[in-house]
Amino acid sequence: AYRLWNTDPKGGFGPGVDPLYLTMPVQMVVADAGTHLVFHDNCWDGRVVLREGEEGVGSGQDRPGVSEMRMEGGPLRCWVLVGTPARVLQGWSGLTGGAAVPPEWALGYQHARWGFGSAAEVRRVVAGYASRGLALSAVHLDIDHYDGHRVFTVDEDRFPDLPGLARELREQGVRLVSIVDPAVKAGDALHAAGLTVGSGGAFVRDARGREVRGEVWPGECAYPDFTDPAVREWWGGLYEERLAQGFSGFWHDMNEPVSFAAFGDTTLPRSARHAMDGAGGD
């Protein structure tokens, strides 16, 4: 069974843990008889259950399976594509949009983990790859390079010359990638700037117009409403500073979006409202 609802799995996950960080409502079956792909086109909370067919109908690998889709609302709409694996994947990307072609360096090995507490630690890890003759294309800096875990900041004490570090690594063929969390610490300068965006501010609100708050790494946070074009333009502009600091890419994390709730789903409440490019909705 697969739940189609994005939540944080609270620190760890393995085989059988559900739901995970993402919703991928796509089912692809590759068999001797042919390949088919089913895209469950519905953004409501729901569940897809895959199980074996009835006893006495076929045997072993020849027995037809059963796929059950149960959604809390919205349309029961599925796109079914048949053909070769390449054909059905091409058809699916035609419906949903194809992925952008990545830069060549992004196809190389990348080192990402929490715990790069300083520029010195980054240099130590990169030197370790070089001394062992191991290829390294990029190093990802997690929230520990932020000042107080606040997005789009840098801890100047532990990373005093981030552009210099980036240039040094680029000379060795290694790129720097910055984590970006879609949660803004309530009350800080970025939050104040977001309140001036558009007609009602940049952040998700509830049905009463109150700003939705949650707990993320910096503490109490507000959440940008990326379904508002004014917010997308504002937030996109914040990346310019990261690029000027020498970063070559971005690691988007916590974008379920996550709130460290004590109970229930670790994500935004159902009461949250979104701009939906002018249409409005939950």
Asked whether residue 197 carries a pLDDT value surpassing 60, the answer given is yes
Q: Judge if 113 and 220 occupy the same domain.
A: yes
* pLDDT-based confidence at residue 62 (cuts at 50, 70, 90): low
The backbone region for 33, taken as left when phi is positive above 0, alpha when psi lies in -120 to 50, beta otherwise, is alpha
The CATH number of the domain holding residue 197 is 3.20.20.80
Q: Judge if 28 and 111 occupy the same domain.
A: no
Asked whether residue 275 carries a pLDDT value surpassing 90, the answer given is yes
Q: Judge if 24 and 90 occupy the same domain.
A: yes
Which residues sit opposite 28 in a β-bridge?
A: 37
Centroid of chain to Cα 40: 20
Q: Judge if 23 and 112 occupy the same domain.
A: no
Query: Which of 44, 65, 96 is the endpoint of a domain?
Result: 96
Q: Judge if 173 and 258 occupy the same domain.
A: yes
Distance CA 21, CA 41 (A): 19
Phi, psi (degrees; rounded to nearest 5) at 128: -65, -40
Query: Which of 96, 118, 152 is the endpoint of a domain?
Result: 96
Mean pLDDT taken over the chain: 90
Range of the domain at 73: 2-96
Distance CA 3, CA 23 (A): 8
Distance CA 274, CA 255 (A): 15
Q: Judge if 90 and 167 occupy the same domain.
A: no
Q: Judge if 204 and 243 occupy the same domain.
A: yes
Q: Judge if 110 and 216 occupy the same domain.
A: yes
Q: What is the mean pLDDT of residues 147-164?
A: 95
Q: Judge if 31 and 115 occupy the same domain.
A: no
pLDDT attached to residue 67: 87
The string of pLDDT tens digits covering residues 135-146 is 999 999 999 999
Distance CA 211, CA 191 (A): 11
Q: Judge if 110 and 86 occupy the same domain.
A: no
Asked whether residue 157 carries a pLDDT value surpassing 90, the answer given is yes
* pLDDT-based confidence at residue 132 (cuts at 50, 70, 90): very high
Query: Which of 96, 131, 165 is the endpoint of a domain?
Result: 96
Q: Judge if 204 and 264 occupy the same domain.
A: yes
| Residues catalogued as catalytic | 253, 256
Determine if the peptide bond prior to 257 is cis (ω within 30°): yes
Structure tokens at 246: 């020498």
Q: Judge if 140 and 232 occupy the same domain.
A: yes
Looking at the 3D structure of the chain, how many domains does it have?
A: 2
Determine if the peptide bond prior to 19 is cis (ω within 30°): yes
Question: Pick the residue with more confidence: 15 or 74?
Answer: 74
